């Protein structure tokens, strides 16, 4: 079966979610259909917040009372797509760095909370309790999608790089696809060095007898002195991984890939 994937790479308008949504709507306007759309972590408000009070005006719930859900619902219905979108989730007096997943009817089918927190997250976010996956239906076939948000791919607290917690979980779920929403901070090196690092962190999935597809949507630009890496990509994971598509670090664009999954 063929699956069409869109990975959206852009620089959000800091603390202006509506302007960010308008930008991405314009980027997607020429696409009339897709099976999967992946957006970055914290897609619309930006990423760097000082504390819970700083981010509180941008915390949302994954329902129609809030703008991110409404935007995702409208795009899901327009494109006939499953939408994977990072956002800051409101929870009691705090929040989570989360990902909402909507089906083509615009219905929420999963809300995932980032399990491994990065230092910037700790300014305001609670730690999600578990890794997770979701089952979606494309062309009457069920596909298992592993979910991950940025730091999730690293070892917990950067403690033990011999551990591949996220990839091990994805492997245990027999995933077909991996949706990875990220705001990967940039230090040095080029896009291929970053992709090679991700492949190393995904090592357990390179040893399986079946192909799995890694779908990464990263942001670009700079925010409060922090630069971001781009390199949104689609990679076929196997003993001989294949890069099916990638966006350069400075490009605001939508990566379109058509992948074939044996079902």
Residue 252 CB burial class (10 angstroms; 0-12, 13-18, ≥19)? middle
Q: Cα separation of 237 and 63, whole Å?
A: 34
Q: 201-212 burial, b for 16+ CB within 10 Å, e for fewer?
A: bbebbeeeeebb
Q: What angle do CA 25, 31, 33 make, to 5 degrees?
A: 115
Residue 235 CB burial class (10 angstroms; 0-12, 13-18, ≥19)? buried
Residue 142, beta-bridge partner list: 137
- What is the number of domains present in the chain? 1
Q: Domain range spanning residue 85? A: 2-260
> Residue 124 belongs to a domain with what CATH number?
3.60.110.10
Alpha carbons within 13 A on the beta-carbon side of 72: 33
Residue partners of 127: CB distance under 8 A and separation at least 6: 113, 114, 115, 116, 117
- Which region, left, alpha or beta, applies to residue 158 given φ > 0 means left and ψ of -120 to 50 means alpha? left
**96-123, pLDDT tens digit by residue?**
999 999 999 999 999 999 999 999 999 9
pLDDT of residue 174: 96
pLDDT of residue 188: 84
Average pLDDT score over the chain: 97
Give the residue-averaged pLDDT of 223-248.
Answer: 96
Residue 237, beta-bridge partner list: 212
Task: Assess whether pLDDT exceeds 90 at residue 124.
Answer: yes
pLDDT of residue 12: 98
Task: Assess whether pLDDT exceeds 90 at residue 81.
Answer: yes
Torsion angle of alpha carbons 251, 38, 231, 209, nearest 10°?
A: -150
Q: Cα separation of 216 and 234, whole Å?
A: 6
**165-221, pLDDT tens digit by residue?**
999 999 999 999 999 999 999 988 889 999 999 999 999 999 988 899 999 999 999
Task: Assess whether pLDDT exceeds 90 at residue 262.
Answer: no
pLDDT of residue 51: 98
Q: How many whole angstroms from its chain centre is CA 26?
A: 20
Closest to 14 (Cα-Cα) out of 230, 225, 194, 205 = 225
pLDDT of residue 20: 98
pLDDT of residue 163: 97
**15-58, pLDDT tens digit by residue?**
999 999 999 999 999 999 999 999 999 999 999 999 999 999 99
- Assign 146 a pLDDT band (cuts: 50, 70, 90): very high
- Assign 227 a pLDDT band (cuts: 50, 70, 90): very high
DSSP states of 63-115 as a string?
Answer: STTSHHHHHHHHHHHHHT-EEEEEEEEEETTEEEEEEEEE-TTS-EEEEEE-S
């Amino acid at each position: 079966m063929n699956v069409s994937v869109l990975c959206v790479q852009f620089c959000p308008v800091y603390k202006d979610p509506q302007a960010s949504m308008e930008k991405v709507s314009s980027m997607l306007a020429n696409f009339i259909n897709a099976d999967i759309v992946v957006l970055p972590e914290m897609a619309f408000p930006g990423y760097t917040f000082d504390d819970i009070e700083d981010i509180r005006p941008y915390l949302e719930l994954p329902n129609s009372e809030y703008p991110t859900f409404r935007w995702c619902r409208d795009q899901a219905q327009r494109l006939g797509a499953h939408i994977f979108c990072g956002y800051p989730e409101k929870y009691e007096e705090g929040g989570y760095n989360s990902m909402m997943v909507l089906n083509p009817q615009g219905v929420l089918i999963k809300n995932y909370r980032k399990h491994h927190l990065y230092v910037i997250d700790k300014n305001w976010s609670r730690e999600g309790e578990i890794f997770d996956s979701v089952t979606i239906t494309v062309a009457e076939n069920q596909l298992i999608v592993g979910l991950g948000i940025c730091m999730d791919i690293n070892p917990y607290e950067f403690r033990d790089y011999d551990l591949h917690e996220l990839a091990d979980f994805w492997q245990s779920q027999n995933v077909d696809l991996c949706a990875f929403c990220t705001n990967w901070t940039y230090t040095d090196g080029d896009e291929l060095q970053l992709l090679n690092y991700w492949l190393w962190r995904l090592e357990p999935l390179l040893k399986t007898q079946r192909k799995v597809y890694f779908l990464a949507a990263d942001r670009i630009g700079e925010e409060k002195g922090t630069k971001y890496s781009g390199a949104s990509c689609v990679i076929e994971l196997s003993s001989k991984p294949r890069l099916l598509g990638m966006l350069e670090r400075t490009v605001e664009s939508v990566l379109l890939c058509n992948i074939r999954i044996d079902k």
